[in-house]
Structure 1
Amino acid sequence: MLLNPEIPDVVIDHVRRCLELAEDIWPDHGSSPSAKAHRKLVRQRQGVKYDAGRARAIAAVAIRGRPRPRTTRRI
């Protein structure tokens, strides 16, 4: 049971009562790998491989290849 000190016990008790949960049910504030798992599933579905170095190289070329934005002065 990992408790979040930022959430008062009275709030946890109130939510538990509203949801009609048992007294032994406590929130789990542990880290969730859901975002990482989601990215992995998307890569598998699309048939792509994660390659951070190649991604950075492609981004660098794309950034350098873009024309610089014009700055306009307002008077």
Structure 2
Amino acid sequence: MNVTLDEQRAAKLSRLAARVHVAEGTLARSLLSSAIDDADPDPDNVVALLDAIPSAFDRAQLGLRQAAVGDTIPLADL
């Protein structure tokens, strides 16, 4: 899985990793794992979380349109 951070969060992650003397990827995996462990699986909370992602609905709709016209990459090619 790849996660892309905006410039501000990427810089913050870099500073945190330097401060604790670990690789950025290691720290990112640890932070993401903690966030997932602490996430409330209540459907209302999941919907609120997804709604808070900027342009999430638009990106999901774009993905559906791309899939419908075959603008995809086979899993074997990833």
TM-score by length of 2: 0.29
Higher relative contact order (CA 8 A, sep 6+): 1
Larger-gyration structure (1/2): 1
TM-score by length of 1: 0.30
Higher share of residues assigned helix: 2
